[in-house]
């Protein structure tokens, strides 16, 4: 299997999820092979044929724009720092990339698991926070959350097959997991920026991330030959990448690739940018110890044992949210 066998979009492979969900046995096998190859090399793919309604995505973007147009003092009333900034509004200057002191040039609003497991710890599963000024925003975000969670579970089934474990290996961990849907606003640039990036180079914390388009270009992925590859998916594509939790679990067989969001050309500084990542997390008690069958003879795990909850708390402190 080489990357030449995979259709490419803006430097990353593109795959039709329908070939896995409803294709022939050979279709499913080929999808798993192509997904596995992509995740062992660049760590990113663009998925189409997912069936998430375009209308739902358009509504989410439109309502997100309306929310971020609210006065700053109104938005700040919806901040929930007591949740480690995992719910509600997070203002500019709070989050930064791990190892960086420069704050990202963004503000965002987050909705978490609407269907937490019975007896779920409220520390890990705080209640979602409605926006009184825009009541429909919460309902739209929850509908999108559930659709993206379902798609993420399907992708994880293909990953499980590639890793030679049971197809439903991730199912019980991710169903009702500690996932987050984030609506991000990168405001217009009003003066010469200190940095060339809106979001510093980083790797995602979670198992996989599903990125529902973006209103403007800017996402770049770092290739293995240290080149930044611009990625702008078509509206019908959802970009799905490996996060650090899955990299740890597979002893770095699957790659959590560095990426960033760069500033646009000066002629486009007046334009805001919006994006909608869905961070697919497992339940907090899932162990992220390297899978023993992926260790070669005499090989040691690259990273020590830790649970998903412990790892999330550690990383949230490192990026300024906790």
Runs of H (alpha helix) within the chain: 18-21, 25-41, 54-68, 72-76, 135-162, 171-174, 244-249, 308-318
Of 82, 115, 57, 40, the C-alpha closest to 233 is 57
Q: How far is CA 45 from CA 21, 38, 60, 115, 308, in A?
A: 17, 7, 23, 28, 24
Fold of the domain built from segment(s) 3-318:
Jelly Rolls (2.60.120)
CB 178 within 8 A of CB 94: no
pLDDT at residue 284 greater than cutoff 90 = yes
Do 55 and 235 touch, CB atoms closer than 8 A? no
Q: Is the pLDDT of residue 125 over 90?
A: yes
**The two three-digit tokens of residue 301, written as one number:** 């795990």
Q: What is the pLDDT of residue 10?
A: 53
pLDDT (tens digit per residue) in 80-109? 999 999 999 999 889 888 888 778 889 999
For the chain, the average pLDDT equals 91
Does residue 5 have a pLDDT over 60?
no
Q: DSSP letters of 297-317? A: TTPPPSS---BHHHHHHHHHH
pTM of the full structure: 0.93
Mean pLDDT within 14-21: 96
Output the CA torsion sign for 295, 158, 242, 244.
negative
Percent of the chain with pLDDT strictly greater than 90: 70
* Token representation of residue 76: 């700040």
Is 70 exceeded by the pLDDT of residue 1? no
308, 282 in Cβ contact below 8 A?
Answer: yes
Q: How confident is the model at residue 2 (pLDDT cuts 50, 70, 90)?
A: very low
Q: State the pLDDT at residue 3.
A: 40
Question: CA–CA separation, 117 vs 12, rounded Å?
Answer: 35
Tell me the C-alpha distance between 135 and 4, whole Å: 47
């Amino acid at each position: 299997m080489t990357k030449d066998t995979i259709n490419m979009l803006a430097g990353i492979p593109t795959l039709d999820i329908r070939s896995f969900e409803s294709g022939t046995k050979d279709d499913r096998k080929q999808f798993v092979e192509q997904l596995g190859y992509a995740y062992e090399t660049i760590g990113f793919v663009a998925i189409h044929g997912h069936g998430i309604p375009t209308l739902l995505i358009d509504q989410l973007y439109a309502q997100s724009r309306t929310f971020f147009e609210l006065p700053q003092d109104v938005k700040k009333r919806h901040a929930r720092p007591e949740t480690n900034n995992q719910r509600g509004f997070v203002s500019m200057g709070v989050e930064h990339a791990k190892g960086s002191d420069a704050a990202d040039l963004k503000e965002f609003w987050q909705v978490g698991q609407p269907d937490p497991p019975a007896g779920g710890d409220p520390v890990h599963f705080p209640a979602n926070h409605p926006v009184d000024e825009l009541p429909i925003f919460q309902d739209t975000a929850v509908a999108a959350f559930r659709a993206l969670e379902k798609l993420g579970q399907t992708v994880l089934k293909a990953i499980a097959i590639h890793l030679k474990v049971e197809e439903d290996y991730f199912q019980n961990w991710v169903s009702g997991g500690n996932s987050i849907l984030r609506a991000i606003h990168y405001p217009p640039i009003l003066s010469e920026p200190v940095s060339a990036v809106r979001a510093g180079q980083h790797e995602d914390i979670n198992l996989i991330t599903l990125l529902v388009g973006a209103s403007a270009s800017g996402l770049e992925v770092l290739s293995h030959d240290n080149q930044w590859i611009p990625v702008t998916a078509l509206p019908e594509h959802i970009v799905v990448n490996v996060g650090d939790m899955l990299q740890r679990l597979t002893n770095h067989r699957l790659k959590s690739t560095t990426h960033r969001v760069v500033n646009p050309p000066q002629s486009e500084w007046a334009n805001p940018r919006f994006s909608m990542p869905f961070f697919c997390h497992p339940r907090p008690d899932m162990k992220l110890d390297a899978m023993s069958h992926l260790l070669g003879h005499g090989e040691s795990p690259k990273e020590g044992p830790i649970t998903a909850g412990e790892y999330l708390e550690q990383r949230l402190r490192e990026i300024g949210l906790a």
